[in-house]
Structure 1
Amino acid sequence: MEFSKEQLEQYTALLEDWIPKEATIAIAVWDKYIYYAAGERDLQIRVGQQVEKGSIADIVLQNGNRTEGIMDDTLFHAPYYGTGYPIHIQGERGALIVIMPLKLQSHTPFRFLTGKQEEEWRPIPIEKISYMESLQKKTWFYANKEPYKTNIPLKELQLRLPDSFLRIHRSYIVNVSFIDRIIRDFSSNLLILLHDGTELPVSQTYTSEVRNALGF
C-alpha cells in the first residue's frame, strides 16, 4: 500500500506545537518504516527499513499501546529516548515514534566525577575532563591526560553531562571545550583533535549529530 508524503507529513504537522524542533519523527506500518525525518538524534533509519525487534516502534506495533522509555545502544549503536503512539493510516495499523535528544530529559548535570587510580579515588571537576571512553567493558575519563576509571557507563553519563559534552562515537564522549580542530582521515571520516594531541574518531552514526551541534 502506498502512502503519499503529504499524507504522512500531516501527522508531523500536528506535533509541531508540542515537541522540540530537535526531535526526530518516524512512522512505521506493519513491520516497515514508511516515513523518517531526522532531528538532533539521527538514528539513520531508512524508509523501507525493517522495524527492529525490541525497538519502541516494534513494541507499539505489537501491543497497540503508547510506549516510552530510554533505549540502550543495542539496536542503533546509540542510546535514545523515544515515545511511540499507535495510529491508523488508511485502515492500516501503524506507530508514530518521537525520538528526543537525551539531554532534553530532566537530569541534574554532574558537577564532578570521582575516578579511581590504582587504590585512590579522586573527585575531578567536570569542566576539567577532556573526554570519556568505553574500553573493554570499562569506562574511563581523562583530565590533564591522566586516566581515571568510573563505574558509570557512557550511556548513563550522557544523560547527566553538561551541554559542553558531545557523544561522537559509541566509545567516546568529548568535552567541546578541549577540541582544537576537526579534520578528515584517509577514509574521509571525521577525526577530532584535542589540544593535548589526542585524536578521537567520529563514527558514521554520530556524524550528523556532531555537525549539527558544532554548526559545520
Structure 2
Amino acid sequence: MVEDKVGFAKGLVDQYKNLLADWIPQEATLAIAIGDSYIYYVAGAYDVHLNNGKGIKKGSIAERVIQERRKIEAVVEEEVLGTPYYGIGYPIDLHGQPAALLVILPPNHHLAVKEPFRFITGKQQDEWAPIAIEKVSHFESLNKKSWFYAKSEQYKTNLTLKELHKRLPDCFLRIHRSYIVNIHSIQKITRDFSSNLMVVLKDNTELPVSNTYINDVKRALEF
C-alpha cells in the first residue's frame, strides 16, 4: 500500500513538473506529504533533507496545506526543519486523502522577495473587501485566527501574523506575539498598574507590549 502511494506520488510530481515547468526553477526541491509524513522527496540544489517517511513538523507548510486545504506560500524559519526555506504548498488528493505538493527554494530566492502590501483583503461574514494598508490600525491573532481593524471595523484574514510581518510596510510594528500595530495609529505609550508598557491607539484601544518586543518598540519609536 505504501509502495502504491509512493509510485502514485512520483507520477503526480512528474505530472505537476510538466504542468508547472514554465515557472518551477530547476533548483527547486519537490515533495509530497500525506497524513503525518512525507512520502516522496526529490532534492534539488537546496536540500532540506525531507527523507521519505519523515514526520511533518508543526508549523510547516505541509501541515498547514493539509489542514487548511489551500495554497500556502511562506518563508519558514530554521526551527521548523533545521534549515530555513521558502516554500509553496498546493493541496492535492492522494488516493482520496488530503495531501500537499511542496515546491521548496532558498529563503532568499527572488520568488520569496515580495513588495510590501499596498492593500489587504478582509472578510466580514460572506463578503470580502480590499482595504488600503495605511487605513489598518492593527492586526490581531485571536483564537488561532488573524484579524485586522480599519475605522473600527473588524476583518478576518487567512494570513498569519508571521506572514503579515514580512510583507507589511515599515510603519507597522510588532509589539506582541498577538499584535502588530500601525505606528500612525498610536496615540501614546503608557504603563498599566503593573508598570507594563501599553500602546494606546487613537480609537482608545489598549494593547500590551510583551517583554519580547520592548526593545524593538523603544528602538522604533526612539524613547
Distance in 2, Cα, partners of 1:203 & 1:121: 32
Distance in 2, Cα, partners of 1:131 & 1:200: 10
Is 1:71 aligned to residue 77 of structure 2? Answer: yes
The offset of 1:71, in angstroms, is: 2.2
Correspondence list, 1:121-136, <5 A: 121-136=128-143
Equivalent position amino acid for 1:155 in 2 = K
Distance in 1, Cα, partners of 2:207 & 2:113: 29
Residue of structure 1 equivalent to 2:72: none
User: Please, which of 199, 202, 220 is the counterpart of residue 192 of structure 1?
Assistant: 199
Distance in 2, Cα, partners of 1:164 & 1:106: 19
Is 1:165 aligned to residue 179 of structure 2? Answer: no
The offset of 1:109, in angstroms, is: 0.2
Q: 1:194 to 1:156 in 2, by over 3 A?
A: same
Distance in 1, Cα, partners of 2:147 & 2:136: 11
RMSD: 2.1
Q: What SS does the corresponding residue of 2:146 show, helix, strand or coil? A: strand
Distance in 2, Cα, partners of 1:106 & 1:125: 21
Structure 2, unmatched stretches of 5+, are 1-74, 85-111
Structure 1, unmatched stretches of 5+, are 1-68, 75-80, 82-104
Residue of structure 2 equivalent to 1:114: 121
Distance in 1, Cα, partners of 2:130 & 2:79: 28
Kindly indicate whether structure 1 or structure 2 has the higher relative contact order, using CA contacts under 8 Å at least 6 residues apart: 1
The 8 Å contact of residues 166 and 173 in structure 1, kept in 2 or not, is answered as yes
Is 1:177 aligned to residue 177 of structure 2? Answer: no
What is the TM-score when the length of structure 1 is the normalising length? 0.52
Q: What SS does the corresponding residue of 1:162 show, helix, strand or coil? A: coil
Residue of structure 2 equivalent to 1:17: none
Q: 1:73 to 1:207 in 2, by over 3 A?
A: farther
Once superposed, which parts of structure 1, at least 4 consecutive aligned residues long, lie more than 4 Å away? none
What is the TM-score when the length of structure 2 is the normalising length? 0.51
Q: Kindly, what percent of the aligned residue pairs are identical?
A: 61
Is 1:147 aligned to residue 165 of structure 2? Answer: no
Is 1:213 aligned to residue 214 of structure 2? Answer: no
Distance in 2, Cα, partners of 1:71 & 1:151: 19
Distance in 2, Cα, partners of 1:165 & 1:114: 17
Q: What SS does the corresponding residue of 2:212 show, helix, strand or coil? A: helix
Residue of structure 2 equivalent to 1:35: none
Distance in 2, Cα, partners of 1:184 & 1:70: 34
Equivalent position amino acid for 1:162 in 2 = P
The 8 Å contact of residues 114 and 123 in structure 1, kept in 2 or not, is answered as yes
Q: Provide Cα deviations, 1:163-197, integer angstroms capped at 9, x if missing partner.
A: 00000000000000000000011111100000101
Distance in 2, Cα, partners of 1:204 & 1:195: 23
The offset of 1:72, in angstroms, is: 7.7
Distance in 2, Cα, partners of 1:198 & 1:118: 23
Residue of structure 2 equivalent to 1:203: 210
Correspondence list, 1:86-125, <5 A: 106-125=113-132
The 8 Å contact of residues 72 and 155 in structure 1, kept in 2 or not, is answered as no
Distance in 2, Cα, partners of 1:178 & 1:201: 15
Which of structures 1 and 2 has the bigger CA Rg? 2
